[in-house]
Amino acid sequence: MISFSFILPKKSLTLVNSNMSLNAALNLLEGGNFLSLPVVKNNEFLGVISKEKILQRMMETPEAEIFVEEIVRRDIPSLGMDSDPEEAAQLLANTNTPFVAINDVNEGFTGIITHKTIFKHYSALFGINKGHKLIITSYDIKGRLAQLTDIISKEGGNIISLIIDNPNVSTNVVKIILRLECEDIDLLRKSIEAAGFSIRK
């Protein structure tokens, strides 16, 4: 389930109504120095409108009165609150979209998830700038990770985050990136290396 900590809520967003004229929408974009904004109709998310698209359409048909709904980009992905954050991250990574819209079954359009909110959340999960960072290489052998965490526990260490990076090389070696709290990091490093692990300097 998607946590509200991921979401930029609707109330904090500048929204464009679908029945706005292109001139009004352009003024809204330029007033807030935005390149694009979400478009809504009542409480329904329709898509996104960009400054580039508006200017292009105005040059093509300068005399016509055109409304946002006619040129809104509608291929913006959306998810429900019951989706996983990983789904939003994958959509942002694999599609050319500035955000993912989040909808609630009862309340309609709830907000958006952006590249920045995903990055900030996962940075917090990884414990960036917290504790000590160790980059350890080891053969990918069953029970090896359990051995490593046991050493850390015995030396009084507390793991903040642990990531295994498998570079897909033929040597069957993995990189373990740890962030941990420990009173004597040098003693812990020696204990880890004594068990046959290699710690990157």
pLDDT tens digits for range 47-77: 999 999 999 999 998 877 899 999 999 999 9
Distance CA 73, CA 67 (A): 13
| Phi and psi angles of residue 176, each rounded to the nearest 5 degrees, phi first | -110, 120
pTM comes to 0.70
Alpha-carbon separation of residue 178 from 33, 106, 120, 127, 173 (angstroms): 40, 41, 18, 9, 16
Name the pairing type of β-strands 36-41 and 16-17. parallel
Domains of the chain by start residue, with CATH: 4-123 (3.10.580.10), 127-199 (3.30.70.260)
Instruction: Give DSSP secondary structure letters for 46-81.
Output: EEEEEHHHHHHHHHHSTTS--BHHHH-B----EEET
pLDDT tens digits for range 73-117: 999 999 998 888 889 999 999 988 889 999 987 778 999 999 998
